[in-house]
Amino acid sequence: MSTLVTPFTDKRMAEIVEKVQNGVRLSVEDGVYLYQTDDLLTLGQLANEANLRKNGKKVYFIENMSLYFTNVCEAHCAFCNFRKDQGEEGSYTLSGEEMIDYVEQHIHPGVREFHIVGGHNNHVPFQYYVDSLRALNEKYPDVTLKAYTAAEIDFFTRISGLSIKEVLQELQKAGLKSLTGGGAEILSDEYRKKMRVDKANVDRYLEVHRTAHLLGMRTHTTMLYGSIESYEDRVNHMVQIRELQDETNGFMVFIPLSMQPKSKNASIMRRNSAYEDLKTIAISRLMLDNIDHIKAYFINIGPQLTQVALGFGASDAHGTIVRERISHAAGALTPEGLTRKELIWLIKGAGRIPVERDTFYNEIQVYE
C-alpha cells in the first residue's frame, strides 16, 4: 500500500510519511507538526493507511446503552454542564431498582453493554456504587458492565478509604468488567488547574488504568480537546497513553472527544471545526501505534463527519447508546443515539464493512 502524497508536500511531511510507511514511531515534534500542517489529505491518507494495516476495512460498533445513576457531583469542572449540587433543581440519585425501571422502559433486544458514568456524589457511600452495579448485574447477567471513569475510581478511594486496587476488586465482585475512558480530559496538571478539573490528577488517572490492567481488565481511554490546551498538550497526552500501553497493553480503544459549548445556541465559532476534528482523529491513529482502535464519537462530531472519519483512521463508530446525556447537557446538536440499522448504513456508506462487536472487540456479526 502506498500513500499518495500531494505534489506540494514539504520535506517535513515527506519525512513523516516515510516514518509511517516504515513503521517508525512518531515523536512529539512530529505530532505537533501534523497539527500545524494544512495538508489534510496527506495526513488523512497516512492515517487511513495505518488503520487499514491494523483493521482492514472493518469498522466496529456495539449495541449499548448509556446509564447515569446520579448527576450530583462535588467537582466543578469548567467544561461540565451535566453536574448538579445536592438538592439543586434537576439533581437526582437513582437506586438500583429505579435504574432497572428506567432500563426496562428503554432497553431494546440485542443490547450487550451498559456504559455507566455519573457525578462524584459524596452524599452516598461507596457501597451505593457497588450496589448499583450489583443490581444491574443480577437483573441483566448477559449485559457487560462497562462502568465508571478513572476519576470516579479515584473518588471512590477517597470516600471509602480503600486503595485503587481494593476499590476495583470490590466493583469486580459486583460485576464490573471494564472501565470507561472518561476523566482524562487533557493529561496536563497545568491544564487541569486552569480548567478547574478538581478530580483525579494525571498520575492518578494513569495509575487507575494501570491497576485495572494488572487486574486483568481491558479499558478505554479518551482525550477531551478544543478548549485552552495547546497542540503540544494534546500530543503529550497521546504519548502518555502510548507509554502506559507499552507497559500494560490494556487499552482497547482511544476516543478523541470534541469539546462541546455550554449552549446549543452557541455560534459556530464556539465549536471545533470539522477540519480540527478530522485532524485529531488522524493524528491519534498515527501517534497511538500500539492501540488497535480509534473511535469516531458521533455524539460529539455528528454522524456525517463520523462517516468521513472512517477514511481518516477511525475503526470504531461507537454504538447505539439509546440516550446520551453528558454532551447533550452542554451544546451537542447531534442525535442522542442511533439504531443498529443506521450504524450499518453509516459504515457501509463509507465503503467499509460493519462489524457488530462486544465490549472486548470480539466479533458478533459481520455485515458484508
Instruction: Please spell the DSSP secondary structure of 45-103, one letter per residue.
Output: HHHHHHHHHHHTTEEEEE-EEEE-SB-B-S---TT-SS-B-TTSTT--B--HHHHHHHH
What is the pairing mode between strands 251-258 and 293-294?
Answer: parallel
- Cβ neighbours around 267 below 10 Å, total: 8
Domains of the chain: 42-360 (3.20.20.70)
> With a cut of 70, which residues of the chain have pLDDT below it?
1-9, 79, 260-271, 321-337
Q: Can you give the pLDDT at residue 9?
A: 67
Phi, psi of 64 (to 5 degrees): -135, 175
Binding residues: 73, 77, 79-80, 185, 196
The DSSP call for residue 113 is E
Annotated binding site for S-adenosyl-L-methionine: 79, 185, 196
Per-residue pLDDT at 270: 61
pLDDT number for residue 302? 87
Distance between CA atoms of 185 and 193, rounded to whole angstroms?
12
* Total-model pTM: 0.91
Residue bearing cell 464493512: 353
- Specify the pLDDT at position 3: 52
Enumerate the known binding-site residues for [4Fe-4S] cluster: 73, 77, 80
User: Which residue carries 517508525 as its cell?
Assistant: 24
**Cα torsion angle, 296, 301, 303, 308, sign:** negative
What is the spatial distance between Cα 56 and Cα 253, in angstroms, rounded to a whole number?
Answer: 16
- What is the predicted pLDDT for the residue at 300? 85
Residue 178's nearest CA partner among 221, 207, 141 is: 221
- 318, 330, 340, 312: which is closest to 42 by C-alpha? 312
> What is the Cβ-side half-sphere exposure of residue 297, based on CA atoms within 13 angstroms?
23
Written as nine digits, the cell of 329 is 447537557
Cα–Cα distance for residue pair 235/232, rounded to 1 Å: 5
Say if residues 37 and 43 touch (Cβ distance below 8 Å): yes
User: Nearest-5° angle of CA 164, CA 234, CA 260?
Assistant: 85
